[in-house]
Amino acid sequence: MQRSASISTSRGTKWKLLHSLWIVWTFLLGFFSWLAFAYIGIRARHPRWLLWAALYATPLMLYAIISANISQRWANVTLYATLILGVVSVVHALLVRKEYLLRLDLIQRETSHISVTSMGRKWEWLHSLWIVWTLPLGFTSWIAFIYIAWRARRVRWLLWGLLYFVAFAAMAATNSGSQPTDVTIGLMIVAGMVSVVHAFAVRSDYLVRLENRMREVADADERARRLEAEYQTQTGASPADGRSEQSAYSGSSDNATVPDKPEISREQTTASPTETPPQEPAEVSSVAGSKSKLSEPVSIADTYPLPIAYSWSMLEVSGIQGIAIESNCGTLRTCLLSSAPSLLQCSTTRITRRRSST
């Protein structure tokens, strides 16, 4: 007791009174005692107080549901139970007040500089105003959950919003004064009570998801701006400037002259009939007396049969290559081709001698 008293007195009287206002809910004859204990259970993160809240809400739920379907005697029983539990909840609230202040003090000291998100407490409270929609006891609870489902892109909360909307629509669809109307009103009130606790339970999750989504959108915009900046630095102009230049060029006057293509001179395109093309094939008589056209100088060592190629390589080694360069190429080829049989016989004789010697 001394330890709890010493820790609880570390805060001032103003702080204690401010965080004890929840006790006022227990003085409303048991109708809102459940709300008081649900509040401190969520704030202090204590599941036992949430169970007490469910217990205090049970008679009120039964009274709202069965008051029109069962005899007046049972309706009075549930009403009396609600009133008795309301008195008990007042005493209960005064007993757990010190423990609640102690737990709340410890939680606030641990998270004094830490919020649920990195956006700050002001941003968190601003984006928690949707909880107000759950307070009118089921009339607008569905709006709150459909709103957070749309902002955070969460399908589960959308389903909860539709469920709360079904309770409200059932009440609105029934005729007033009938038994189904009383039942649907009771169900809507119960759904509204549950939605209040539900809203406080999902608040932190909603804030974290909302922050992540806002960061994703900001990152996508930043990447788009970066790509546009890179495009401008590479091309020297933005895409809008390029489109404006094209529109300006297309909107110019029709009298603008386009430079003519340079005309090719007929002297360049048509050659003189007397001139011989530089690559005109020349007629050379072969060994068999036939004529073949050579489009360009052909190496004898690469084109003619092996004996002639071998003889030509021997002549190149012996120094006749220099004479061939100085003399007329056509005359030399004619001489070589005319002496091809003798060269062939000479090369054959040499090959025979080498075979006989080996």
Q: Tens-of-pLDDT digits for all 358 residues of the chain? A: 444 444 444 678 888 899 999 999 899 888 888 889 988 998 888 888 988 988 888 887 777 766 656 667 777 788 888 888 889 999 999 999 999 999 988 887 776 556 678 888 888 889 999 999 998 888 899 999 999 999 999 999 999 999 999 989 988 888 766 666 777 887 888 888 888 888 988 988 999 999 999 888 888 888 888 888 888 888 865 555 555 545 554 454 444 444 444 444 444 444 444 444 444 444 444 444 444 444 445 555 566 566 666 666 666 655 544 444 444 445 545 555 555 556 566 656 666 676 676 6
Q: Do 306 and 215 belong to one domain? A: no
Contacts of 302 (CB under 8 A, 6+ apart): 309
- Angle value at C-alpha 47, between 42 and 51, nearest 5 degrees: 100
DSSP state of 176: T
Same domain, 138 and 208: yes
CB 298 within 8 Å of CB 309: no
> What is the residue whose two structure tokens read 């081709």?
337
Indicate if 135 and 164 belong to the same structural domain. yes
Residue type, 135: L
Q: Are residues 155 and 197 in the same domain?
A: yes
87 and 172 share a domain? no
Closest CA to 96 of 55, 142, 50: 50
The answer to whether residue 37 is domain-embedded is yes
Q: Report if residue 271 sits inside a domain.
A: no
Q: What is the C-alpha R_g of the chain?
A: 52
Q: Give residue 294's pLDDT.
A: 42
Whether residue 128 sits in one domain with residue 103 = no
Residue 54 lies in a domain: yes
Q: Which two tokens stand for residue 248?
A: 């300006």
Among 211, 200, 10, smallest CA distance to 108 is for 10
| Structural domain includes residue 348 | yes
Q: Are 38 and 27 in contact (CB under 8 A)?
A: no
pLDDT of residue 97: 93
Q: Is residue 56 within 8 Å of residue 193, measured between CB atoms?
A: no
Say if CB 127 and CB 221 are below 8 A apart: no
Do 196 and 156 sit in the same domain of this protein? Answer: yes
The SS3 of residue 67 is: coil
- pTM > 0.95: yes or no: no
Q: Which of 82, 66, 95, 94 is nearest to 29 (CA)?
A: 82
Residues near 43 by Cβ (< 8 Å), separated by ≥ 6?
Answer: 100, 104, 107
Instruction: Let me know whether 105 and 134 are in one domain.
Output: no
Written as six digits, the tokens of 153 are 């892109």
Pair 1, 107 in one domain: yes
User: Which residue among 77, 111, 145 closes a domain?
Assistant: 111
Q: Please report how the helices 155-173 and 179-235 are oriented relative to each other, as an axis angle in degrees rounded to 10.
A: 150
Q: 130 and 106, same structural domain?
A: no
Question: Which residues, 6+ apart, have CB-to-CB distance to 336 below 8 Å?
Answer: 300, 308, 312, 343
Q: Is 223 within 8 Å of 130 (Cβ atoms)?
A: no
pLDDT at 244: 52
User: What is the residue whose two structure tokens read 């939680």?
Assistant: 107
Alpha helices, DSSP H only, in 236-339? 239-250, 266-269, 300-303, 306-317, 320-326, 329-338
Residue type, 183: V
CA pair distance 38, 50, nearest whole angstrom: 5
Please give the residue range of the domain that contains residue 316: 301-357
Q: CA-CA distance, 111 to 76, in Å (whole number)?
A: 47
Report the pLDDT value the prediction gives residue 1, as an integer from 0 to 100.
Answer: 40
User: Domain boundary residue among 192, 215, 231?
Assistant: 231
Q: Which residue, among 40, 44, 55, has the nearest Cα to 88 in the 3D structure?
A: 55
**Is residue 50 domain-shared with residue 23, that is, in the same domain?**
yes
| Tally of domains in the chain | 3
Any domain includes 257: no
Same domain membership, residue 136 and residue 107: no
In a domain, 242, yes or no: no
Q: Is residue 179 part of a domain?
A: yes
* Cβ 302 vs Cβ 309: under 8 Å: yes
Domain limit, last residue, from 111, 144, 161: 111
Query: Does residue 295 fall inside a structural domain?
Result: no
Q: Which two tokens stand for residue 169?
A: 């629509």
